[in-house]
Structure 1
């Protein structure tokens, strides 16, 4: 699948015409037609806007994955009201050694997800103190 095919599929799933899509993003209909036919590619700002509009990840929109949304969206949402946890999550999110744990955590309730991240934070802080960091 190409970017253009994916964009067209998402637009049609939302029941939008090319004209409606172009108007929503303040672009010409021809511009979106060129995107859907893979004649042109949008800039990164528009790609971000499109991903938000369709509620999909940028990677999905660019055909890097077939998973429509960032798998960690539920975790991010569960901790979004705690700035300290959001900052900590930024440090954790890419750690390979914790990916399996995150995969299991996604299916929990938002309250439980928040508790799990808080517990990980406590363990991480204890480890840093133990190793003089």
Structure 2
């Protein structure tokens, strides 16, 4: 059996520094069931795959190994917001005669992404 899904679940869990027990509780499944998913001995149903994808903010296609892009849908929407924000910020900075160098947009994008993650975490808690 191909264990791409199990490897992805384990990778995402470790990135969030969660134990199997913690993630199992979040997903409302048993620890042994999660262990079997990660080992490739059992395949989760579509509802659990969706729950895992939603929790880690990735696509089901990423979980299944069909793409390496974690969440192509969110990225496009977020980039539109970032572009609009950067344009507005640049205009404001120019009005105030402040410098807007080439590194500014990248730093702002990273800050914006961190704020989005924080906002999502706060909604879940």
Give the structure-1-normalised TM-score: 0.55
Q: Structure 1 pair 75/68, CA: closer, same or farther in 2 (3 Å)?
A: closer
2:39 aligns with 37
2:83 aligns with 109
Runs of 4+ with >3 A deviation:
74-78
Write the distance in 1 (CA, Å) between the matches of 2:25 and 2:81: 38
Write the distance in 1 (CA, Å) between the matches of 2:14 and 2:82: 32
Give the structure-2-normalised TM-score: 0.59
* Unpaired runs of at least 5, structure 2: 86-125
Q: Structure 1 pair 17/109, CA: closer, same or farther in 2 (3 Å)?
A: same
- Asked if 2 retains the 8 angstrom alpha-carbon contact of 1:75 and 1:110, the reply is no
C-alpha root-mean-square deviation of aligned residues, in Å? 2.4
The 5 A counterparts of 1:67-106 are 67-70=69-72, 72-76=73-77
* Unpaired runs of at least 5, structure 1: 79-105, 112-133
Write the distance in 2 (CA, Å) between the matches of 1:110 and 1:62: 33
The 5 A counterparts of 1:5-24 are 5-24=7-26
Deviation at 1:18, TM superposition (A): 0.5
SS at match of 1:53: helix
Deviation at 1:25, TM superposition (A): 1.3
How many pairs does the alignment contain?
84
Could you report, residue by residue, the CA deviation over 1:80-111 in whole angstroms, capped at 9, with x for unpaired residues?
A: xxxxxxxxxxxxxxxxxxxxxxxxxx697247
Larger helix proportion of the pair: 2
2:65 aligns with 63
Deviation at 1:75, TM superposition (A): 4.0
SS at match of 2:43: coil
